[in-house]
Amino acid sequence: MPMGPLRLIDEIGVDVTINIGNTTREGLRTRDHVFCVLLWSRDGQMLGSKTGARFLRIRGKDTNA
């Protein structure tokens, strides 16, 4: 994996990550669940780099982009 999981979530978006988690759970019929912090972030419109609300500050990148 060329990047860590939090950076990946920042790039693809919290909302997309939640949808992937829910679809995977339903498809595999597991009892896994989406982490509460992702639901909290989505509810607060902190969706990752597309909204400027990231988990991480990346050196050399403008975090407000």
Q: Which of 3, 16, 19, 5 is nearest to 50 (CA)?
A: 16
Per-residue model confidence (pLDDT) at position 61: 57
Per-residue model confidence (pLDDT) at position 57: 64
Per-residue model confidence (pLDDT) at position 58: 59
Per-residue model confidence (pLDDT) at position 6: 82
Is residue 65's pLDDT more than 50? Answer: no
pLDDT digit string, tens, across residues 15-43: 999 888 888 887 888 777 778 788 888 88
User: Quick one: how far is CA 13 from the chain centroid?
Assistant: 5
Give this prediction's pTM. 0.67
